């Protein structure tokens, strides 16, 4: 384990902004993609319910 303590870990040898900047954006985008996808899935299912309602109310 090459970190003194948590504060040392987060300082990341002075490059905290760059390292955490990249990691935060990367995993933030991945999570955002999943959230958008689930929303799209909900919209698609709602559309089906809507058209089913229209077909045989």
Partner 1 sequence: MKGNINWFKYSSPQTFYPLAGTLAPWFGALAAVFGAAGLYIGFFVAPTDYQQGEAYRIIFIHVPAAWMSMFLYLVMAFWAGAGLMFNTRLSGMMASALAPTGALFTFIALWTGSLWGKPMWGTYWVWDARLTSELILLFLYFGFMALQAAIDDARRADRAGAVLALVGVVNVPVIYFSVQWWNTLHQGASVSLTKAPTMAATMFAGMIVMAFGFWFYSIAVTLLRVRCIVLERERNSEWVTEYARDFR
Give the DSSP H/E element, type plus range, for residue 34: helix 16-55
Q: Is 31 in the site for partner 1 (CB under 8 A)?
A: no
d(CA 41, CA 36): 9
* The only residue of 4, 5, 13, 57 in contact with partner 1, by rule CB under 8 A: 13
Closest contact distance (angstroms) between CB of 39 and partner 1 is 10
Radius of gyration of the chain (CA): 22
Chain residues binding partner 1 by CB under 8 A are 1-3, 9, 12-15, 18-19, 21-23, 25-26, 29-30, 33-34, 37-38, 40-41, 44-45, 47-49, 51-52, 55
């Amino acid at each position: 384990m090459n970190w003194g303590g948590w504060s040392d870990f987060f300082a990341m040898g002075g490059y905290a902004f760059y390292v955490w900047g990249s990691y935060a954006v990367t995993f933030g985008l991945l999570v955002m993609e999943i959230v958008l996808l689930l929303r799209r899935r909900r919209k698609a299912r709602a559309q089906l319910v809507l058209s089913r309602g229209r077909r045989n109310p």
